[in-house]
């Protein structure tokens, strides 16, 4: 049996080994115009990018880059992979970094904190958000996506089914497994694009294929022939297919999206209540019918709740009647089944 410490060690060894030394550093801007503003050394100076240090519910701080584009209608919240940092991913969408005592729960707290920052600081709602998770970053991505029913979309790039399925090549889930995407993908209500290389020797292509099959609203996947784990961006089809997905999500009107959400949230309709005062006929073949009838109270309209009707509550009997339309046939199935009150004799079909 694995202890809590050994499970945490397994998660850390599998999930977190960022480059050392880091490819960037966060510091305060010394320039007069931007005094007190955070900047990242080691990456190109960009006035359209905010460098953020976001506090998480775990008491840690997570670094995030927010790249502003006034013409954009959607925002991509990107969870990067385990062997990279934000300095290496400067040119790729919205980015965040996982550090400071890494653990599975901490990464969940990190992405929740960044999402709340997008909501409160930039006014970005989940309807205008696409989540992007690469490799182990698919864990926090699907964690958040499973909790946001009105997301515009999700991108899974070289994603994993779960941690142990990568490390131990098992096909089932242990209680101590980490990043159980195989379960969380079923809770995601938005369109999901899966991108995976067929020659990925770190996370086998079967992970992406299974996630695509399990998605409730799968988008056309992109299987990059010959692609590995860390080089999919070099293939022309990558940016072409990803751009197509984002454009389609952008063109999806709010009305269409809300219609899909309402349909997914609608409870299963219950069968209509049968009026027990009327006769319901179920046709089974050409000459057999089943009739169910409840007689009316002879003295009032109390629906058999008064004392005078107490005797009637149990006076339903089952009687067989010969079919009135085909007396000449000899088949034993030609009977009409009638449930009726044996006291009131209201059934007029007896023969």
Please give the DSSP secondary-structure letter assigned to residue 57.
T
Residue 36 confidence (pLDDT): 73
Question: In angstroms, rounded to a whole number, what is the distance separating the alpha carbons of residues 122 and 124?
Answer: 6
Question: In angstroms, rounded to a whole number, what is the distance separating the alpha carbons of residues 63 and 228?
Answer: 28
Indicate if 80 belongs to the active site.
no
Question: In angstroms, rounded to a whole number, what is the distance separating the alpha carbons of residues 36 and 319?
Answer: 90
Residue 131 counted as domain residue: yes
Residue 253 counted as domain residue: yes
* Three-state DSSP class for residue 226: coil
Tell me the mean pLDDT per 10 residues along the chain, length 351: 53 66 82 70 79 91 83 76 73 39 82 95 94 95 96 96 87 86 96 97 95 96 95 95 94 71 66 44 40 50 50 41 44 39 42 38
DSSP letter for each residue of 134-180: EGGGHHHHHHHHTT-TT-SEEEEES--S-HHHHHT--SS--TT-S--
Residue 316 counted as domain residue: no
Question: In angstroms, rounded to a whole number, what is the distance separating the alpha carbons of residues 224 and 233?
Answer: 10
Residue 55 confidence (pLDDT): 93
Residue 281 confidence (pLDDT): 38
* Pairing state between β 95-96 and 61-67: antiparallel
Residue 250 counted as domain residue: yes
Q: What is the dihedral of CA 11, 80, 201, 5, to 10 degrees?
A: 0
Single out the catalytic residue among 8, 200, 241, 340: 200
Indicate if 200 belongs to the active site.
yes
Indicate if 229 belongs to the active site.
yes
Residue 164 confidence (pLDDT): 87
Residue 177 counted as domain residue: yes
Residue 9 CB partners (closer than 8 Å, separation 6+): none
Give burial (CB, 10 Å; 0-12/13-18/19+) of 67: middle
Number of domains composing the chain: 1
Residue 215 confidence (pLDDT): 97
Residue 22 CB partners (closer than 8 Å, separation 6+): 42, 85, 87
Single out the catalytic residue among 143, 157, 229, 241: 229
**By residue range, what is the domain housing residue 44?**
8-84+100-262
Residue 71 confidence (pLDDT): 62
Residue 234 confidence (pLDDT): 94
Cβ atoms of 151 and 187 within 8 Å: the answer is no
Question: In angstroms, rounded to a whole number, what is the distance separating the alpha carbons of residues 152 and 129?
Answer: 6
Residue 255 counted as domain residue: yes
Residue 147 counted as domain residue: yes
Residue 124 counted as domain residue: yes
Question: In this structure, what CATH number is given to the domain that contains residue 56?
Answer: 3.40.50.1820
Question: Which tokens go with 16?
Answer: 């977190």
Residue 54 confidence (pLDDT): 92
Single out the catalytic residue among 8, 79, 103, 135: 135
């Amino acid at each position: 049996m694995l202890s809590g410490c050994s499970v945490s060690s397994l998660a850390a060894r599998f999930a977190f080994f960022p480059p050392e030394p880091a490819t960037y550093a966060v510091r305060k801007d010394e320039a007069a115009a931007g005094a007190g503003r955070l900047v990242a050394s080691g990456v190109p100076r960009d006035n359209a990018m905010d460098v953020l240090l976001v506090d998480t519910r775990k008491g840690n701080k997570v670094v995030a880059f927010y790249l502003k584009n006034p013409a954009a209608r959607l925002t991509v919240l990107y969870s990067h992979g385990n062997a990279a940092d934000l300095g290496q991913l400067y040119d790729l969408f919205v980015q965040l970094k996982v550090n400071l005592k890494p653990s599975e729960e901490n990464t969940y707290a990190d992405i929740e904190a960044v999402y709340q920052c997008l909501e409160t600081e930039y006014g970005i709602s989940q309807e205008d958000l696409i989540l992007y998770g690469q490799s182990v970053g698919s864990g926090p991505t699907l964690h958040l996506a499973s909790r946001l029913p009105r997301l515009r979309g999700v991108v899974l790039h070289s994603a994993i089914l779960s941690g142990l399925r990568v490390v131990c090549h098992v096909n089932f889930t242990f209680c101590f497994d980490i990043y159980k995407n195989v379960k969380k993908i079923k809770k995601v209500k938005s369109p999901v694009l899966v991108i995976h290389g067929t020659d990925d020797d770190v996370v086998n292509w079967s992970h992406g294929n299974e996630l695509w099959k399990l998605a409730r609203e799968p988008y056309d996947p992109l299987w990059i022939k010959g692609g590995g784990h860390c080089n999919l961006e070099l293939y022309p089809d990558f940016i072409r297919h990803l751009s197509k997905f984002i454009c389609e999500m952008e063109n999806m009107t709010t009305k269409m999206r809300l219609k899909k959400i309402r349909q997914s949230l609608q409870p299963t309709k219950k069968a209509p209540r049968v009026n027990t005062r009327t006769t319901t006929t179920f046709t089974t073949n050409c000459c057999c019918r089943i009739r169910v009838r409840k007689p009316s109270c002879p003295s009032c309209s109390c629906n058999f709740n008064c004392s005078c009707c107490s005797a009637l509550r149990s006076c339903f009997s089952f009687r067989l009647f010969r079919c009135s339309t085909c007396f000449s046939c000899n088949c034993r199935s030609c009977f009409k089944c009638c449930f009726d009150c044996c006291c009131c004799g209201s059934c007029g079909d007896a023969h």
